[in-house]
C-alpha cells in the first residue's frame, strides 16, 4: 500500500503565472529570476596592519569626515583577490603581491541591509617603511591609526572591523546578549 499524497490546488492567478513563466524560453526565465530576486554587490577590503596588529591603515574619503579602509567594488570578471590588490594600489599607492594578501578570518562579511558582500584580506606592512600616496580626489587622507584608539569611522567600517575584534563595535560582537 502506498501512502497517499494530498495536493492543494493553487489559486488560479498563481497557476496562470506559473504556466506562463515555465513556458517562456530558459534565458528569459533566468533573466526574470535575476531581476526579482535579491542580489548582492561584491567588493574587496584590505586590512593593512603592522606585524603586531598595533596599527591599522585607514583612509578618509569624500564626502564625509569619517574614516574607512582601502576597499572597492569588483569589476566584471575580476576575482576578489585581484580587486583587493587593484583597490589597494589605486587608493594608497601600495603595491602588494598576490601571495601577500591573505584572506582574513572570516574571509567574507555579508551586509544584509545594504546587500553587499565584502571579501576581506589582510596585508602586513611596516608603517615606518611604507609610503602611502593618495590622490586627493578619491581619497583625501590616509593615516596609520592605533588599533586600540581608532578615529571616528563610518558605520559600515565599524561593523566590518568588529568581526576582527577592532573598533567601537568589537565589544558588541563579543557580547552574546547583543546578538
**Every domain of the chain and the residues it spans:** 41-149
Share of the chain above pLDDT 70, in %: 88
Question: What number is the average pLDDT over the span 42-65?
Answer: 93
Looking at the DSSP bridge assignments, the partners of residue 119 are: 44, 108
User: 146 pLDDT exceeds 90?
Assistant: yes
pLDDT for residue 27: 85
The residue-averaged pLDDT of 112-116 equals 78
Spell out the alpha helix ranges (H) of the chain.
12-23, 26-36, 80-92, 155-162, 170-174
CATH of domain 41-149: 3.90.79.10
Give the span between the Cα atoms of 72 and 77, in whole angstroms: 15
On the question of pLDDT at 137 being above 90, the answer is: no
Distant-in-sequence, close-in-space partners of 60: CB < 8 Å, separation ≥ 6 = 66, 67, 68, 139, 140, 141, 142, 143
| Residue 86: burial class (beta carbons within 10 Å; 0-12, 13-18, 19+) | middle
Residue 15 binned pLDDT confidence (cut-offs 50, 70, 90): confident
| Per-residue pLDDT at 14 | 67
At residue 9, the pLDDT reads 56
Q: Average pLDDT, stretch 165-179?
A: 69
State the pLDDT confidence band at 147, using cuts at 50, 70 and 90: very high
- CA distances (Å), origin 71, targets 12, 19, 74, 100: 49, 45, 10, 16
Angle at 107 between CA 109 and CA 84, to 5 degrees: 90
pLDDT computed for residue 173 by the predictor: 54
Question: Averaged over 46-50, what is the pLDDT?
Answer: 98
At residue 10, the pLDDT reads 54
Does the pLDDT value for residue 125 go beyond 60? yes
Residue among 166, 169, 123, 172 nearest 145 (CA): 166
Cβ within 8 Å of residue 144, ≥6 positions away: 50, 55, 56, 57, 58, 127
Q: How confident is the model at residue 98 (pLDDT cuts 50, 70, 90)?
A: very high
- Grid cell, residue 46, equals 584590505
- Beta strand pairing call for 116-124 and 41-49: parallel
Mean pLDDT on 154-164: 94
pTM above 0.85, yes or no: no
Which of 7-21, 67-81, 104-118 is most confident?
A: 67-81
Amino acid at each position: 500500500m502506498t501512502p497517499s499524497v494530498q495536493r492543494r490546488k493553487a489559486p488560479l492567478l498563481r497557476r496562470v503565472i506559473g504556466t506562463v513563466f515555465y513556458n517562456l524560453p530558459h534565458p528569459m526565465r533566468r533573466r526574470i529570476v535575476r531581476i526579482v530576486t535579491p542580489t548582492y554587490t561584491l567588493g574587496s577590503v584590505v586590512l593593512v596592519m603592522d606585524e603586531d596588529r598595533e596599527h591599522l591603515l585607514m583612509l578618509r574619503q569624500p564626502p564625509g569626515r569619517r574614516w574607512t579602509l582601502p576597499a572597492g567594488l569588483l569589476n566584471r570578471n575580476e576575482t576578489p583577490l585581484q580587486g583587493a590588490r587593484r583597490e589597494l594600489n589605486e587608493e594608497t599607492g601600495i603595491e602588494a603581491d598576490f601571495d601577500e594578501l591573505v584572506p582574513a578570518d572570516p574571509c567574507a562579511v555579508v551586509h544584509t541591509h545594504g546587500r553587499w558582500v565584502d571579501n576581506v584580506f589582510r596585508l602586513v606592512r611596516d608603517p615606518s617603511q611604507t609610503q602611502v600616496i593618495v590622490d586627493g580626489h578619491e581619497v583625501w587622507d590616509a593615516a596609520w591609526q592605533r588599533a586600540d584608539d581608532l578615529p571616528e569611522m563610518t558605520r559600515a567600517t565599524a561593523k566590518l572591523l568588529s568581526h576582527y575584534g577592532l573598533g567601537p563595535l568589537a565589544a558588541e560582537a563579543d557580547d552574546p546578549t547583543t546578538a
